[in-house]
Amino acid sequence: MAKDNFWDNIDYANNINQKLTNLKKSISSYNKLNDSLSLIKEVLDTNDEELINESILELDDLSKDIEDLELTTLLNGKYDSLNCFLEIHPGAGGTESCDFASMLYRMYTRFLEKNNYTYEVINLEDGEEAGIKSVTILIKGFYPYGYLKGETGVHRLVRISPFDSNARRHTSFASVMVTPEFNNDINIDIKDSDLKIDVYHSSGAGGQSVNTSNSAVRITHLPSKIVVTCQVERSQARNKDMAMQMLKSKLYQQEILKQQEQLSSVKGETMEINFGSQIRNYVLEPYKLIKDLRSGYETSNTDKVLDGEIMPIIKSVLKNK
């Protein structure tokens, strides 16, 4: 970082800077805990009953920090430290599913705000009557992909529908996909002939120029049928660059999954690569229960979870793996 030309490549420099920040945070947490535990050990070796009692109480307070540090040791995947794209898409069910997608969107953004992550809305399409048709956000911070990768899958909601005049119970589905933001230097060969590029008026906020010009960009990769959209920038060119970056990341992840499938066939093992599997139930009627179907974690405090308190669930999934 001390080189004169370090900041010439902003994307590369930001990536290195984020890695350095993550490492410093982990080392700082370890040193702080180590110092605290050493001090407590010294106090326990004394005969001062009052200090010993205080140290025992402090040790209880440190247990959460120790658990958090232990969790970071599980974030050892090759891409865990990378920023990530989080996408939410409603399933079949019209307005019900669109509304559930907006509930998940609020849950994740509340989680990000409470845990000091930064995020940028890349694309947001409102539902016809309520909720959202689609949303993509770019998340930056401390091991965002590592923490959120387990959220990929199908989420299921059971509740009394606020859109049903007969107050009947409905089941809705929404899918979540988390993709690492791979570096710009990933070697993915994308032919121009394989792309279908559409431009249109942005439907989101962004000022007069966004809403009155064809600034939003949708790119369809014809061979894979992957579709990416960006409408966050005022410039069509900037939106196209961001959409291409998302497409590259998705294609790169697809190649990784192909390699995992090949490895699975060689080993004779079934590897967890199915992004279409149901992972979590959110039951609000006739009782309240949120349960993760992989780790078995469950809680009846549904309001708290839907308000962004999902770290316990995330931790349970990481530990389960």
Instruction: Residue 15: name the closest of 147, 183, 245, 178 by CA.
Output: 183
pLDDT by residue, tens only, the chain of 321 residues: 666 666 766 666 666 776 777 677 778 777 888 888 888 787 777 777 777 777 777 777 787 777 777 777 788 888 888 899 999 999 877 889 999 999 999 999 999 999 999 999 998 999 888 899 999 999 999 899 999 999 999 999 999 988 777 778 889 999 999 988 876 555 677 888 999 999 887 765 443 344 446 788 999 999 999 999 988 767 888 888 888 888 888 888 887 777 666 545 543 433 333 344 689 999 999 999 999 999 999 999 999 999 999 999 999 999 887
Give CA angle at 114 (112, 119), nearest 5°.
Answer: 25
Helices and strands: H and E segment counts in the chain: 8, 11
CA separation for the pair 92, 299 (Å, rounded): 26
Where do the domains of the chain lie? 6-72, 84-183+275-320, 192-264
Helix 10-44 crosses helix 49-72 at what angle (to 10 degrees)? 150
Separation CA 69–CA 63 (nearest Å): 10
192-264 maps to which CATH number? Answer: 3.30.160.20
CATH fold of the domain at 84-183+275-320: Alpha-Beta Plaits (3.30.70)
